[in-house]
Amino acid sequence: MTMTQESTQESGRTGDEVPVSRRPTGPDDLPEVQSLEELAELARSRTPLYVRFSTGPKVDAAGRSRDHESGCMLPGLSANPLDPEPWFDRPAVHWVARQVMQYAHLRQDERFAWVLTGEVVGRGPDCEPLIGDVQPVAAIPDHVVRAARDLYEEVFDVSEDGT
């Protein structure tokens, strides 16, 4: 996969080009997205993309997650899809904010949010996609996670009642 600095005004993107800012560099030497809107544009420009909260791609290089309740090793890394589903009739940035927030509680200690692509190799215990052949794309800095939280709380009913 080739990461380029092409602007969003340029046309002719291919599936192999992922526009992300080259600076500043985030954890694990990943380029950082600078805004929630940039993250949404990234999700629109290349699919499939996923978000993961962990200690990063260097530590995750073994390529497997563990189900904490059962102790079972999973066949890939658990992640949330960033590309909106066809039925989602709201702006893509709303979808992206929601997906980032689903596992934002995992942002602790050395863990951070990052974007990856790869192949779905199964489903985890929460029906989340498990990703194999992982290719890191970008880091999501804390200020973008906070922007996702703010938008999520503004545009969604975030009550605890899931019924």
What is the spatial distance between Cα 88 and Cα 92, in angstroms, rounded to a whole number?
8
Alpha-helix runs per DSSP H in 9-163: 36-45, 92-102, 142-155
What is the spatial distance between Cα 26 and Cα 74, in angstroms, rounded to a whole number?
27
Q: What is the pTM of this model?
A: 0.80
pLDDT digits (tens, 9 = 90+) for 70-84: 999 999 999 999 999
What is the spatial distance between Cα 64 and Cα 79, in angstroms, rounded to a whole number?
11
State residue 135's pLDDT score: 95
pLDDT digits (tens, 9 = 90+) for 28-62: 789 999 999 999 999 999 889 999 999 999 989 87
What residue segments make up the domains of the chain, in order of their start?
24-155
State residue 15's pLDDT score: 45
Contact 33, 42 (CB under 8 A): yes
Distance set, CA 149 to CA 72, 99, 103 (Å):
31, 10, 11
